[in-house]
């Protein structure tokens, strides 16, 4: 079971330091759950420093497919490794929506990161319009088809209509989507989409759900800690 917190563009180094100190305290005796936090690039170093020696991993929110070059604003896998970062998210719906990232770009980022030795959380999921049109299965098949199974790859199913909207896929919807993804690719699958302490236990109890990629609730250390504890009981 993996619980990863995607902080998006929140928490600079000072706030990250405060959060990580408290998270260490809260999860000191947590067992049977892998935990990762994914701060912005500017806060990765302080998170790595404070969480060193713990079981809490630090991952980036993106990674480029080239080892170096004229790619302003991008960060390579080797740079992340030098910082002590454990892994990276690729293909998040916000990257696809706001920055035009494609399935092929997601696959290239994932492959480069895995080849460099990073773990990867690759995000897939349908929009509200695609779900209403009955295209969920087609979308998931297309997005998953470009990925290659790897011991360090995890897929996160994030129904775009449930991200930051307060809507959450029912446990049955999550189970169905996760089962489909696992039939296409033999990797663990996380659920992402308005996961909160109130709904975490029910979602995580589904047999095809292997953890959660937590957005807004991961910004509050009490909420994130509660979700991690719920995972340890599921």
Which residues are catalytic, by number? 92, 158
Contact 132, 102 (CB under 8 A): no
C-alpha to C-alpha distances, 86 to 44, 120, 209, 220, nearest whole angstrom: 10, 9, 22, 22
Q: 160, 157, 171: which is closest to 201 by C-alpha?
A: 171
C-alpha to C-alpha distances, 116 to 40, 64, 74, 99, 158, nearest whole angstrom: 20, 11, 16, 24, 25
Give CA torsion, residues 38, 39, 43, 49, to 10 deg: -30
| Neighbouring residues of 6: CB distance < 8 A, sequence distance ≥ 6 | 38, 61, 89, 92, 192, 213, 214, 215, 218
String of b and e for 39-60 (b: at least 16 CB within 10 Å)?
Answer: bbbebbbbbbebbeeeebbbbb
Q: Which residue has the tokens 């460099």?
A: 116
Q: Which residue has the tokens 């604003």?
A: 73
């Amino acid at each position: 079971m993996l619980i990863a917190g995607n902080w998006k563009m929140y928490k600079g180094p000072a706030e990250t330091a405060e959060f990580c100190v408290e998270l260490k305290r809260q999860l000191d005796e947590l067992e049977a759950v892998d935990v990762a936090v994914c701060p912005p690039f500017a806060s990765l170093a302080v998170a790595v420093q404070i969480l060193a020696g713990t079981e809490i991993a630090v991952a980036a929110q993106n990674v480029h497919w080239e080892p170096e070059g004229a790619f302003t604003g991008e960060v390579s896998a080797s740079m992340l490794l030098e910082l002590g970062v454990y892994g990276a998210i690729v293909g998040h719906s916000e990257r696809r929506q706001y920055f035009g990232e494609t399935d092929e770009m997601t696959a290239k980022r994932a492959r480069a990161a895995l080849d460099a030795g990073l773990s990867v959380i690759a995000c897939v999921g349908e929009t509200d319009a695609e779900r209403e049109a009955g295209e969920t299965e087609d979308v998931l098949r297309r997005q998953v088809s470009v990925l290659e199974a790897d011991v360090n790859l995890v897929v996160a199913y994030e129904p775009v209509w449930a991200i930051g909207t307060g809507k959450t896929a029912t446990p049955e919807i999550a189970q169905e989507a996760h089962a489909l993804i696992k039939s296409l690719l033999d990797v663990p699958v996380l659920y992402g989409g308005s996961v909160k302490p109130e709904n975490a236990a029910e979602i995580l109890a589904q047999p095809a759900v292997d953890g959660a990629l937590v957005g807004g609730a991961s910004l509050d250390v009490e909420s994130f800690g509660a979700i991690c504890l719920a995972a340890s009981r599921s």
